[in-house]
Structure 1
Amino acid sequence: MKPPRLLLVNAFQLSEGAYALRPHDGPREALVMDYANVAHLLADTEWTAHPGARATHGDWPVETREEFLIVGANRVRIVREACESKQYDAIVLLGGGDPGFLECRDIGRRHGIPVTSCAHAQMHLATMLGHRFGVIDISEQHNTQMAQLVVQYRFTEHCVAVRNINHPLPRPTHDGPQSIAEEKARALRGEPSAMLDAAVAAGESAILEDGAETLILGCSAAYWMRPLIEARLREAGWDVPVLEGYSCAIEMARMLLRLGRDASGLAFPSDPPRRWRPRRVV
């Protein structure tokens, strides 16, 4: 059996500069943040990473609804061209806020190609591990996007809360003392990290106060914390799974390929559909 051919598509591409959290070009491994955490999942696949469409919302990471809408629309073209090329078996959308996911999945369905994304995959897998999950996220603006996805994906029964650790993405409107890159570097060196400490505290509050049984991470810039949060909570006596989006989205794509499925033709109808329904229940 041939290895699956995956395309990993970043949400957007920034120029090299103060606001960039990853390189905008270079080897494929450099285009996947925290590649070491997902390398074992890609080892037996043929995969390519796309840097994402050049950002048109501004040269900084995305947090607002307007920005998510813009980068989602920009990513649609990449996915359409990838599907039409017939070079890939599945497409994985990178980025915690899932910009353009449903639209890209609609395109994938028309070509028989599974399309997965980070928040969507995490929420599904979280409910396989426990009934109720909590979201640990980075900022007030980004929390709004995550809360909207919980409703859009119909996980309101399962999501107990979105917890904000207030470490926003680097962008012109944020001039606070926190730096995700610096906090990450400190934590990976084994030094104290205020961002990691806040995430662990938020996780414990989600367990004790909200009733979470599984934890997921909202923004891809926070995915590096997954093993560290889980280890810290385990040391504190909490046997709670912590998920991050890249791993979940990659594995969901592979699962759909093994099952020979992409999406329901009733949820994502063809154009035109072979049959139409006189009534849709919402």
Structure 2
Amino acid sequence: MTTHPGWTSWTFDPAMTAALLLAAWAYAHAYRRAARVAPRPPGPSHWIPYAAGLAVLAIALLSPLDPIGEQYLMSAHMVQHVLLADLAPALIVLGLRAPVLPLGLPKAGLRWIAPGGRLGRFIHVATRPWVALPVWALATWGWSIPAVFDAAAANPLLHGVQHATLFYAGLAVWWLIVDPLPSERRKPHPIRLGYLGFTRLVSAAVCLPLTWLGTTLYPRYVEAPRAYGLSAIQDQQIAGAAMCLLEFLIFGLALAVVFLDLLGRDQRLADRTESLFPTPRRST
């Protein structure tokens, strides 16, 4: 009798677990350092997204999504890609935004991330619109080509490369959209929402055909064991619909964040105006 992974079976990967714990430890130190020195210290709106981003990475890489997506269901594999390339990077970058970066870094880290530092120069180039957006589009489209998608699922090394490129392309594009460091080049909100809209169009070019096509495109998943009660075409359509739904929810979340940021900016402007021109009290 053939056994298959259950939805409650998680794997323990020592290297990945150590990397996630190290990322959490480093963030905790940066958060405490920023809280000590920043005029407006970070709060739950910083650490909650970052913690959620690490949790999403754990779900993508340590949950049953990984083995089920490799061997049985294309829908599980596609959901894993959205978590790695979109949701986790967005949450992590939101958690890193100022004042956590740069005030949470030690002096050596500040030198590296400064505009003239090695990492700073790389970030500056990698997050330019003409770099980050095409790279994200190429990663999204390239890894969705049926022959490439199937080959990555069959080869553990190529599968790891696939995950790494999707995650780092996601970090670059969300760094461009959120722009977490204090920067003179920061674009207005409508332009950054335009960047986000471009990424949704790129994703739609993948998820909409998968949702509505009546023929299967991925031979590996046509030949996979039907262990979860789904036919190959149902699995493919669910993969497309799940990808479209997640992308739509992420776009809605980004719109909400921008709206709240605009409200906060208006309130800060009103507070500064009130401090400069206080309203005279009426005599009773």
Q: TM-score, normalised by structure 2?
A: 0.27
| Structure index of larger Rg | 2
Larger fraction in strand: 1
Normalised TM-score (structure 1): 0.27
